[in-house]
Structure 1
């Protein structure tokens, strides 16, 4: 798994898709030698699904999308329901469907992403920072659904979910500014839709909070 991680990091640095192919090949080779029920299999399947999804995002090759979904569905069949691997695979499956929607514009895939993210959020108890990621993923998918369909209920719920994600972070946490920006953007979208001054003011307030929490050399 370390070798796959190193290849993936080199891909992030160099942008060479061959590095991502190597990262995937390492995991697939390991999976071929790891029988069902082995302790590391669920982790390997999750990582392989994530790598195939990255390759799909980079290539738009539907074969890569199919492989991503297949590997992640294997985790959902084999891993303990409600366990960490099951939760991670559910979220990763949502991200694969969201990538497919981004590439194809297929609203059925966006609906599948929303459904997967809903299950991922339901798998976490309490307002923890670990829950902030599935909350944000679901909020962003609902925002995309609003933009595609005009369903205001989806935008309203997106704002509520972003509020929940922000609430999981203490002041000064390095992850807080990005959550504040996401929330500000959602309020700005609702302000544009309704000409609501309160939403516009709230968006501006959140952006200022985000800026205050960023280091001076932040790329954001």
Structure 2
């Protein structure tokens, strides 16, 4: 089934909306404790409990509008539901904080496995959007694999050694900025190995 095109700003809002809602909500409730059905929950856990259905809702809307979800989106939703749910159920923030580590280890591990086989799994999911020569894909895949492992280490350092507020800021802005800067620095590689659509058709 071909992916339907939607307004890119709408898609961005649906993908980033739950993260921004979590950040704003945590900022307002971080020092509060809520008693629900006789159990006490921190503001962080309350926002985690709200984040899960919100992410499911926005992901469902993306799927309904485009007819497609990437494997990365599906894996992210599954890990959020599992580890976010464990955090709320066990009242232990560590599960949700460790979730980005597992996501980046998973993605890095999958790409790394492909590299060991001499293949770029990244190319399989991005080739249509970013046509490049095979050599370019292998270089980009090696870089992204190392980058994902680096993000996993960074997340572990932050959540284990800094406050919850520092981790939320890092998760909301630090990881997003790191991803943006990484792809910005790959411009020369994409220019060198990029394939023009006219060339590809020929």
Tell me if both proteins adopt one fold, taking TM over 0.5 as the criterion.
no
TM-score, scaled relative to structure 1: 0.31
TM-score, scaled relative to structure 2: 0.33
Q: Which has the higher contact order (CA 8 A, sep 6+)?
A: 2
